[in-house]
Amino acid sequence: MTGGAHFRQAVFWVGLYAALALAPLALALAGYDRPARPFWVEFGVGLGFVGLSMMALQFVLTARFKGIAAPFGTDAMLQFHRQAGLVACAFVAGHVLVLIAARPGYVAFFDPRVNLMRAGALVTVLLALAGIVGLTLLRKRLRFPYEWWRLTHGLLSLLVILISLAHVQMVGRYVSTVPKRALWAAMCLGAMSLLLYPRLVKPFLARKRPYRVVDVKPETPRVWTITLEAEGHEGLRFTPGQFAWLTLGGSPFALKQHPFTFASSAEQRGRYSFTIKELGDFTSKISSVAPGTRAWLDGPHGAFTPGTGASALVLIAGGIGVTPMMSILRSMKDRGDTRPATLIYGAGSEAMIAFRAELEALAQAATFKFVPVVENPGEGWQGERGVIDDALLTRHLPPDDGKVEYMICGPDAMMDAVELLLIKRGVPMRRRHSERFNIA
C-alpha cells in the first residue's frame, strides 16, 4: 500500500473514532426536552458520557482488527489505546468530581445508608478505575507479570463498563426512551464482546490450524531461532515485516500469547521462523522448547512493511530489531527482487551480530550493502564502531531520489535518535516506517 493510501485510511479511522466517542452525547441530547440545569452539572454529565463511550471504544482498539492497525502500526495503535484510556479514566473521574463540586448534595450517592447497592457500585467503579490506571503506569516498577496485568486490566475494564452502563440506565435522565436505552446497552455490550474476540473466538478458529516446533537453534548469546511448520494445513501468508502472536503448548486458549516478527522469507509458505531474544519468563524458556511441541499463530498483524513503490530500502536495526529486516531481505532474495537495499545494524559486540554469515554472503550481491555497527568491538574489528549517528548515516545512506523507504526497528533510544536524524534529513513520515517491540 502507498503512503497516501495509508494517510487517507488514518484520517478515516481518526474521524470515525471522534464521531463514535461523541455519538452517545449527541444521542443523549437528541429529543431531550427537560429543563436545563446549571452549566457545570450538564458539563459533568457530558464528561461521563464521553468518558464511557471512549472506554467502550478501547475494546475496539485491542480487538486486533487488521484494518484499523494497518495505517498506524500496531505499536502506535497500542500507544493510542494507552493514552486514550488514561483520558477516558480522567473523564469518568472528572464526571464524579465536577458533579459533586457543582451540586455537593450528590455526595449522598456514596452514602451506603441512603442506597447500599448504588454506593457500593460507585465505590467499586472508582476503585477499579484507580486499579486500571495504577497498574498500567506502575506495572513494570511493581514487576507485575504482563499476562496477569493483561487479564486484570480486561476484567477491571469490563467491571467499569458494566457498572457504568447500569448507572446510565438507572439515572435515566438522558436515556429515558426505550430505543435510547437499547442503543446504549447495545453499544456497550457490543464493544465489550470484542474482548472475547481475540481471547475466545480467534483461538477457537485457530484450533484447526495447529503448528509444530521443528527446530530451536542458537543465533548469538541469549538469542534463539525457533522454527514452526503448519500441521495439516497450508499455513498463513504474511508480508515481510509483519508479526504474529505465538502460543506454545497444547491449547490455543492459553493465557500466554506473545508477539514475534516473522524472520523467515514470506515465500516459504507453511514454515516460519522467529528469532527471539531472552528477556523475561516466556522468552527465557525458548531454548528449552522441545521439537514436536504444539504451537499456535494468530496473524499476520502489523504494518511495518515497505511500500510497493519504494525504489530502494534502507533498513536500520538495533539488536533484536533485525528480525523484520531478515524477513524483508530473505523475501527479496527469494523473489529475485534486485532493488538496492542497505542494512545498518547496531549490535553491542561482534558476538551479538545475529545472522552475520548470512548477511555477509548476501552482501556479495552488488545491490545489498551490509553495515554492521559495533558499540564495543574487540581489537581486530575493522568496521563501524560506536552508535548510529549522523556522520555514519552520511557515510552509508544511498542517494535519495524521493522514493527510498526507511525501516527502523530497535531499542527505544536508538529509534528516537535515528527518527530524529531522518527527520532532519527531510525524510517525510510516509517514507519512514518504525516498529517498537517495547509496547508498554
Residues that bind ligand FAD in the complex, under the rule CB under 6 A: 74-75, 140, 146, 243, 257-261, 274-277, 279-283, 302, 320, 323, 437-440
| Cβ at position 141, least distance to ligand FAD in Å | 11
Q: Which is nearer to ligand FAD, 258 or 432 (CB)?
A: 258
> Is the backbone of residue 278 left (phi > 0), alpha (psi -120 to 50) or beta?
beta
Report the alpha-carbon distance of residue 329 to residue 264 in Å, rounded. 9
| Cβ at position 277, least distance to ligand FAD in Å | 4
| Cβ at position 368, least distance to ligand FAD in Å | 21
| Cβ at position 263, least distance to ligand FAD in Å | 6
Residues 6+ apart with CB under 8 A from 366: none
Q: Which is nearer to ligand FAD, 219 or 405 (CB)?
A: 219
Report the alpha-carbon distance of residue 78 to residue 94 in Å, rounded. 24
Residue with cell 486484570: 152
Q: Which is nearer to ligand FAD, 59 or 437 (CB)?
A: 437
| Cβ at position 15, least distance to ligand FAD in Å | 26
Q: Calculate ∠ Cα 75-303-158, nearest 5°.
A: 45
Residue 64 · residue 301 · CB < 8 Å: yes
Report the alpha-carbon distance of residue 324 to residue 275 in Å, rounded. 10
Q: Which is nearer to ligand FAD, 320 or 397 (CB)?
A: 320
| Cβ at position 340, least distance to ligand FAD in Å | 25
Report the alpha-carbon distance of residue 181 to residue 276 in Å, rounded. 49
* Nearest residue to ligand FAD on Cβ basis: 280
| Cβ at position 260, least distance to ligand FAD in Å | 4
Q: Which is nearer to ligand FAD, 132 or 168 (CB)?
A: 132
Q: Which is nearer to ligand FAD, 102 or 194 (CB)?
A: 194
Residue with cell 491449547: 251
Q: Which is nearer to ligand FAD, 53 or 242 (CB)?
A: 242
Per-residue DSSP letter, 410: S
- Bridge pairing between strands 271-277 and 223-230: antiparallel
Widest CA span of the chain, in angstroms?
83
Looking at the DSSP bridge assignments, the partners of residue 318 are 346
